[in-house]
Structure formats: C-alpha cells, structure tokens
C-alpha cells in the first residue's frame, strides 16, 4: 500500500462533527502520498460515562506509527480555564473534558494490542494529539494556555489552512512521541494493518497434534497456512467499518467474508449507538452458531474485551427469518408487534421454505400495519429470501419489503433512505432466478435507492471478488459446474458483460458475444489461501463407484484416514454434504449414518437435538457433521466430502441442483472430494474442468437458460429494459456499451469517463453535470441531449449528432468533433 488510504466510517452531522471533518480533510490532503491508512471514527470504544467513545481520527503511518487525533470543535471563549489535563467549558455541549488524556488512552489501548504480536514487540512509535479547528495559535497564546505545564501537543486552525498543507506532516512529526520507535519494516507494517483491521493474524497454536502423523500431513499443511497472517483487503475493511446512512447491498463470491463484514457492522453500530434497535437476520438456522460467535468476537475486538454478545440484549437481536416456538424469528417478532397471530409452516400452501416465508410475509403486509421498530437491519445470505415474480407483494420482494417497512428513516429530509444492509451471492441461491435489482426488491418508485454513493463517499453497493476461504482451483471448477460451460448442449447460465466476469474474479479474453470463444482465467493467489501453494496433491478430486455401498465404504475409509493419519479433528475440520433433492437426501442420510457408525465414526446431524446440543448447532465436539446443502450453507470446513453426485447428474439441466453443487464445493477451506455412482455426462464435464488448469476456454451459446447481471453496467441495461429511466449519480466508468439504446434516460451527475458509447442511441438523454471525459461518443445520436455543465474534455465526438443538444457550460477542452 504505497499511497494513503482513507476510510470515512460515517457521515458528518452536527457542528462538532463538521469541525472534525475539517481536520479529516486536511489529514487526507497531507497524507495522500504517504504509506498510511487513516480512519475517521475508527471503532475502538472506551467507556465514557453512559456511552462509549471512539477515536476521532486514527492514522497508521509506516514511518510515524500510530497517531490518534482528538478533535474539539470549541471556540476560544468557550474554554474558561484548564486545570492539569482537565478543560473547563462554558456555553459548550459538555462542562468539562480531558481531550489529551482521551487520545492518550486510545493510543495505549492500540499499543496493548500490538504487544500481543511477537512481530511488533520491539515497539511501535505513537503520538496523541489534540486538534482545535476553530482556535488559532495566537488566540491560545493570548490566554496563556501555552504556558501550562500540562499543555498538550495541539494542531491549531493555522495548521489546517490550505497554505499549510505542505508543513502539516512535518508539524505532526515534530510532536514528541508517546512511545519511541523507528520506521516499520514491510512485514511489521502489514502485521500492524492486519492487527488494527481485525483480519486474522497468526496466533501460535499450543497444540502439536500434527507432529504425531506422517509428514506432510493435512494437519501440518493447515498449521503452516495459518501461520501466514492475512494482508489487509481495503474493500473489505472499508465496507466493514462504515455505517451507511441508508440502504447498502454487498455482493460477494463464496468465502469473500460477507458474514464477517455484516457482524462487524452490527457490532460497530451497537457500540457506537447503544440505544439503536439492531437486527441481524438470516435464513438457515444452522447459522445461529456462526453469527453469534462472530458478533461476540467483534464486540470484544472493538471494545477491548469489555463487551461481548448477550442473547438477552434487546437492542442487538439475532433473528432467524421465520423463527420457531420458544425462539422468535424476524417474521414472528413483527407479527406479534403488529397484533397479528403468527402463522406456521403448516398454515401455508407452499412446500419450499423460502416461498412459505414469503407467503406469510405477504399475509402480514396485507393484514397489519408494520411498526417502525428498528434503526438498522442487516440480512445475511440475502439471496435465500428471494422468490419468483409470481409470489411478490405488489411487485416487491415480500421479506425485503417487510424489513424495509420495519425501519425508521435515517434522515427526515430523505425518509426513503433506511439502514437496510443485505449481503448476497446469487450463485448460492437454492432456487435460481434472474439477478434481482433494487427495483425488484422495493418496487419502481424506489428503484433509484442504490444509484450513486452515500454522502462521505460511502458505497451503496459493493462487489467482493476475492475468496479467502475457497482455493482458486476449487472455485474455478465450482463456477464451471454451476454454469455448465462444458456441457455438450451448451451453457445453462451466462454473464452479460466482461465487467460481470471480472466481478467474480476472472480475467476474460475474447468478446462476450453469442458463438464467440472466450477464455476465463482465475489466477492463483497464495496470499488469499496459502493451502494451494503448500499442498502437493490435488485440492479437488472426483471418484465414481459402481454402487452406493462401495461409495459409502470408501467414504468411511477416507474419514478414518483423515482422523488417524492426517491429524484432522472430526468437528469443524471435516464436513460431509449429501447432494440431491430433499427426498433423495432424506433416504441417503440413514445409510450414511449406519456405515460411519459401524466403522466407529461418531456422527452429528444438524437440526436434530442431540445430547446438550440444540437444533441450531451445526457442530458437535468429537463428531463428523453430516449435512444437507440447506443446513451447510454459510458453514465451512478444511476437508469437505460431497457425495451422491449421481443425484444431480440424473437431472443435470436443473439449475437449482447445480447451485447445490456449487454451494457444497465452496464450503471448503482446503480440500474437497466429490463422489457418485454410475456413469453420467455430468461426470465428463467434471473431468474436463479438473484437467483445465488455471483457464477455462469455451464457446458462448446462442441461447441459455439464465442471464446474470452483477455490476452497475449490467444493472442499467436490465432496469432500462424493464422501463426504468432514472440512473442519476451511478458510476459507469469504463462501461463498454457500443450501440446501446439509452434514450430519454436520466444520467445527471453520472460517472461515464473512459466509457465506450460509440453509435449509442442517446436522444433526449440527460447528462447534466455528468463526467464524460475521454468517453468514446463517435457516431452517437445525441439529438436534444441535455449536456449542461457536463465534462466532455478529451471526449471523442466525431460523427455524433448533436442537433438541438444543450451544451451550456459544458467543458469541451480537448474534445474531438
């Protein structure tokens, strides 16, 4: 990270925050060319009376170490006197304060974290500083505060002027450090970034179980992999640490950290705003364990161990989407608040769980007035709540509309913006359909909710394309099977734009056109998952058997080898997933259990109450978990067995079953073994994918069953086709849209720089204040287009029809006509 990176965790509000933001802007100006990471309102909360206080500004700088700046937006006349470190105010929102001690305490809390890491014990330089954006150095001296023995290091209004930016860093460097130190090495720097962000860092494991097994065992490989700490992912870190003032959609591939990010956000919100009513909601009951553990981890991380997750806390609730007797879920909770008796599964007409949930949500929306009781709702595995158009509520997704109705507005001036955050991966939907736009979720009147960005440049939508869980080799095979790209009859699903493939982490060679040959490459990245570099054998294997008995016997033998020779633990290290329909897996489950128990392998079935474990638990100590795909969603293991592939092969054109297979394969952190009975064409697809190394070359079909659009570029096309015309403020930089028809659309303040709109139909389109710099508009129809104040610098406009176009105040520097 060579250049400065800056994370604004929430939008500035009152006057005091505007003072902080002024300091924050100068920090960004001054540190922009330095190797640093800085936060406005980093979520480290220390007790301050009833509430908890976080640092106003935290800077991590490779040369200067840790810097905490406490900002006081006070005027000189509001400081009556100073006794030691305590300041006494008049006409201010508080009577007294100790700003320097506050900053000092936060520095010490961060240094305490550093002491836990062997690589940082030699000492990290640190500084605590007070910033006074509304007081000049001369005013301070006039009151003789500078003569006090306890006078802290201060950045005055003088230092925040644009003319003083060049000296700002030097001013900080001249302040005596709290702790001495030197410039950090590259390894120390990466370790500090990982430590502060909360990404996994190496903690020595006292267990040496792997030494009992022949080298190199799987346990030894995993131990080596976990000794390599994860480097900071800025996209993840920014998403996790920000509180959006409205809706936010997070799309991410399997293993990209969506659940972790949502739990970080929920913990941050709860510590920042303890009076807020916050709900984190999910579809699969087996996620209770994962989410409560993650919430507890992040609450303790942000509070320096002072606060943990408490299921009795009514301000931070963990909800299953539906709920059960004795364990209220999101729907049941709102139903009771609305005065409507909640319905059960047996009361519905639909057999699919997500459709049954949609049915009762529609009933509640029709019968009751939904109270606005939450300040924030975060939805994990958001694709699981989606239903087909025929089951919608007034052209809206029922569960999402219910959640939206239960939220208070973030801002009285923009009541449509409510803090609803959802994370999804359409490839993990058990009932495949077209990708859902915000218009499909909330109706045409709110189709603009995700346009552009929130104030403070906080993202409204983000795509995470790096998988920290699943190795690249496995992901490549999983996507190939999900889409059927080597299927003799042609692909079953397809992505529309190169940008969509890139959003999944693939490099694309060739044109995305029917009948054309393209090559997809997914580069191996040892920084994401080191197992791929440490393991000598294949990470993904397939074996076909003549009978089910033979398949299960070999499964038991492999599990015994994992436990006795590989050093793997039965719980959390190993997962067996049953493939197929509900009827098929219900028949297969007792067969698997019988074989494994006969071989001395203890088994745990999630969803079945067993000893002291509840139906919500997915793991049981000492047992190998055997699960259906519905319960396995959201969980992961080092060694995954996906058995009975023949169940999918017998209905290989079924996109839902192919998605089942995708989910099963992407549960692994290291190895996955697929098995099935007989011989089927799907097996040949799989063999071809296993032989394909790092690239997949195939011909795009002229027809396919499902078209997926993941990026803003593709979403614009889908929404325009559906009749939407409002795309104000969207980011379409570099969009490849030659010949497209976007006539009469609203692209006010939209980013189009470096896009290709050659020969596009743009008649009457509004590009007011849009950025069209370096955009290819050759031959475009811009008749009657509104280009008022647009940036057309260096745009290519040769042959464009600009008849009656309004170019008032447009920037045409370097434009070619």
Is the model more confident about 380 or about 235? 380
pLDDT, position 642: 98
Superfamily (CATH) of domain 725-817: E3 ubiquitin-protein ligase SopA (2.160.20.80)
Question: Is 50 exceeded by the pLDDT of residue 205?
Answer: no
Return the residue matching tokens 């008849």: 803
Contact by Cβ (8 Å): 589, 582: no
Return the residue matching tokens 């929102």: 93
| Least confidently predicted of 57-66, 393-402, 429-438, 713-722 | 429-438
| φ and ψ of 75, to 5 deg | -95, 160
Share of the chain above pLDDT 70, in %: 93
Kindly report the average pLDDT of the chain as a whole number.
89
Pairing of the two strands 86-89 and 57-61: unpaired
Question: Is 60 exceeded by the pLDDT of residue 210?
Answer: no
Computed from CA positions of residues 379, 385, 388, 393, in that sequence, does the dihedral angle turn out positive or negative? negative
Q: Do domains 235-464 and 472-478+486-707 have the same CATH topology?
A: yes
Helices 186-197 and 99-115, packing angle to 10 deg: 110
**Alpha helices for 599-721 (secondary structure H):** 629-632, 645-649, 655-665, 681-690, 712-721
Domain map (residue ranges) of the chain: 5-197, 235-464, 472-478+486-707, 725-817
Contact by Cβ (8 Å): 213, 566: yes
How do residues 558-585 score in pLDDT, each as one tens digit? 999 999 999 999 999 999 999 999 999 9
| CATH number among 2.40.50.100, 3.40.50.300, 1.20.1250.20, 3.30.450.20, domain 235-464 | 3.40.50.300
Q: How confident is the model at residue 13 (pLDDT cuts 50, 70, 90)?
A: low
* DSSP bridge pairs for 329: none
Q: How confident is the model at residue 430 (pLDDT cuts 50, 70, 90)?
A: low
Question: Is 50 exceeded by the pLDDT of residue 257?
Answer: yes
CA distances from 376 to 222, 303, 514 (A): 38, 20, 43
How do residues 381-390 score in pLDDT, each as one tens digit? 999 999 988 8
How do residues 467-518 score in pLDDT, each as one tens digit? 889 998 999 999 999 999 999 888 888 777 888 888 888 888 988 888 888 8
Q: How confident is the model at residue 526 (pLDDT cuts 50, 70, 90)?
A: low
Residues 6+ apart with CB under 8 A from 802: 782, 783, 785
Question: Is 60 exceeded by the pLDDT of residue 14?
Answer: no
* DSSP bridge pairs for 389: none
What is the mean pLDDT of the segment spanning 17-35? Answer: 91
Question: Is 60 exceeded by the pLDDT of residue 177?
Answer: yes
Q: How far apart are CA 506 and CA 692, in angstroms?
A: 14
**DSSP characters over 217-273:** PHHHHHHHHHTSPPPP-HHHHHHHH---SS-EEEEE-TTS-HHHHHHHHHHHHHHH-
Fold topology of 472-478+486-707: Rossmann fold (3.40.50)
**Alpha helices for 425-547 (secondary structure H):** 438-442, 472-483, 498-503, 531-534
How do residues 662-689 score in pLDDT, each as one tens digit? 999 999 999 999 999 999 999 999 999 9
Q: How confident is the model at residue 230 (pLDDT cuts 50, 70, 90)?
A: low
Query: Can you give the three-state secondary structure of 141-189, one letter per residue?
Result: HHCCHHHCCCCCCEEEHHHHCHHHHHHHHHHHHHCCCCECCCCCCHHHH
Computed from CA positions of residues 490, 495, 499, 500, in that sequence, does the dihedral angle turn out positive or negative? negative
- Prediction pTM value: 0.90
Question: Is 60 exceeded by the pLDDT of residue 379?
Answer: yes
Question: Is 50 exceeded by the pLDDT of residue 361?
Answer: yes
Question: Is 70 exceeded by the pLDDT of residue 612?
Answer: no
Q: How confident is the model at residue 609 (pLDDT cuts 50, 70, 90)?
A: low
Closest CA to 427 of 415, 417, 435, 438: 435
Q: How far apart are CA 164 and CA 146, in angstroms?
A: 21
Contact by Cβ (8 Å): 383, 435: no
Return the DSSP state at 363. Answer: H
Question: Is 90 exceeded by the pLDDT of residue 701?
Answer: no
Contact by Cβ (8 Å): 542, 527: no
What's the distance, Cα to Cα, between the start and end of the chain in Å? 40
């Amino acid at each position: 990270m060579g250049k400065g990176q800056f994370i604004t965790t929430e939008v500035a509000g009152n006057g005091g925050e505007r003072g902080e933001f002024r300091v924050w802007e100068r920090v960004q100006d001054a540190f922009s060319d330095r190797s640093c990471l800085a936060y406005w309102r980093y979520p480290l909360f220390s007790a301050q009376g009833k509430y908890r206080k976080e640092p106003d500004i935290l800077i991590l700088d490779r040369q200067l170490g840790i810097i905490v700046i406490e900002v006081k937006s006070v005027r000189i006349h509001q400081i009556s006197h100073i006794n030691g470190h305590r300041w006494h105010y008049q006409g201010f929102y508080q009577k007294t304060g100790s700003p320097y001690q506050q900053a000092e305490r936060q520095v010490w809390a961060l240094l305490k974290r550093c002491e836990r890491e062997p690589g940082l014990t030699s000492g990290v330089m640190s500084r605590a500083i007070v910033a006074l954006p509304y007081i000049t150095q001369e005013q301070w001296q006039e009151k003789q505060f500078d003569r006090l023995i306890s006078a802290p290091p201060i950045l005055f209004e003088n230092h925040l002027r644009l003319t003083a930016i060049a000296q700002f860093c030097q001013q900080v460097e001249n302040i005596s450090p709290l702790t001495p130190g030197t410039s950090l090495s590259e390894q120390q720097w990466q370790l500090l970034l990982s430590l502060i962000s909360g990404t996994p860092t190496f903690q020595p494991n006292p267990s040496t179980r792997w030494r009992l097994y022949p080298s190199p065992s799987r346990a030894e490989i995993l131990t080596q992999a976990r000794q390599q700490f994860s480097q900071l992912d800025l996209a993840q870190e920014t998403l996790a640490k920000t509180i959006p003032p409205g809706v936010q959609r997070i799309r991410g591939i399997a293993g990209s950290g969506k659940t972790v990010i949502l739990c970080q956000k929920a913990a941050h919100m709860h510590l920042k705003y303890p009076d807020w009513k916050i709900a984190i909601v999910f579809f699969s009951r087996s996620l209770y364990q994962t989410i409560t553990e993650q919430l507890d981890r992040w609450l303790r991380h942000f509070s320096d161990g002072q606060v943990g997750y408490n299921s009795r806390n009514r301000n931070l609730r963990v909800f299953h989407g539906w709920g059960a007797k004795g364990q209220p879920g999101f729907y049941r909770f709102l139903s009771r608040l609305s005065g409507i008796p909640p319905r059960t599964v047996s009361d519905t007409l639909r057999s699919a769980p997500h459709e049954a949930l949609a049915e009762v949500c529609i009933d509640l929306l029709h019968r009751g007035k939904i109270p606005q009781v939450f300040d924030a709702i975060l939805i994990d595995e958001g694709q699981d709540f989606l239903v087909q158009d025929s089951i919608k509520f007034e052209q809206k997704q029922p569960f999402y509309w219910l959640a939206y109705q239960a939220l208070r507005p973030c801002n009285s001036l923009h009541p449509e913006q409510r803090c609803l955050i959802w994370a999804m991966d359409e490839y993990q939907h058990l009932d495949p359909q077209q990708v859902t736009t915000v218009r499909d979720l909330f109706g045409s009147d709110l189709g603009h909710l995700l346009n552009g960005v929130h104030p403070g440049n906080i993202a409204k939508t983000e795509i995470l394309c790096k998988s920290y869980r699943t190795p690249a080799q496995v992901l490549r095979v999983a996507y190939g099977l999900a889409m059927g790209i080597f299927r003799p009859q042609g692909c079953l699903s397809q992505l529309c734009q190169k940008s969509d493939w890139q959003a999944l982490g693939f490099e694309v060679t060739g044109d995305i056109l029917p009948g054309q040959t393209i090559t997809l490459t997914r580069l191996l990245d040892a920084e994401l998952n080191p197992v791929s570099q440490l393991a000598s054998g294949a990470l993904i294997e397939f074996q076909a058997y003549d009978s089910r008995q033979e398949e299960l016997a070999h499964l038991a033998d492999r599990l015994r080898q994992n436990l006795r020779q590989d050093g793997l633990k039965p719980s959390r290290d190993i997962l067996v997933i049953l493939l197929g329909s509900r009827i098929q897996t219900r028949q297969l489950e007792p067969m698997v259990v019988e074989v494994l128990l006969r071989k001395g392998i203890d088994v745990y079935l999630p969803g079945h109450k067993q000893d002291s474990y509840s139906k919500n638990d997915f793991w049981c100590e000492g047992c190998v978990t055997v699960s259906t795909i519905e319960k396995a969603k959201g969980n992961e293991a080092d060694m995954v067995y996906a058995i009975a592939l023949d169940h999918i092969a017998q209905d290989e054109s079924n996109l839902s079953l192919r998605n089942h297979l995708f989910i099963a394969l992407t549960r692994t952190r290291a190895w996955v073994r697929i098995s099935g009975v007989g011989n089927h064409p799907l097996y040949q697809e799989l063999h071809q994918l296993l032989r394909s190394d790092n690239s997949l070359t195939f011909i795009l079909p002229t027809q396919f069953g499902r078209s997926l659009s993941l990026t803003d570029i593709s979403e614009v096309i889908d929404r325009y086709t559906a009749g939407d015309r409002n795309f104000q403020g969207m980011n379409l930089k570099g969009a490849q849209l030659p010949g497209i028809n976007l006539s009469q659309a609203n692209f006010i303040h939209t980013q189009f720089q470096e896009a290709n709109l050659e020969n596009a139909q743009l008649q009457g389109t509004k590009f007011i204040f849009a950025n069209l710099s370096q955009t290819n508009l050759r031959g475009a129809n811009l008749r009657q287009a509104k280009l008022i104040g647009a940036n057309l610098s260096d745009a290519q406009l040769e042959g464009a029809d600009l008849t009656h176009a309004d170019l008032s105040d447009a920037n045409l520097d370097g434009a070619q006509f």
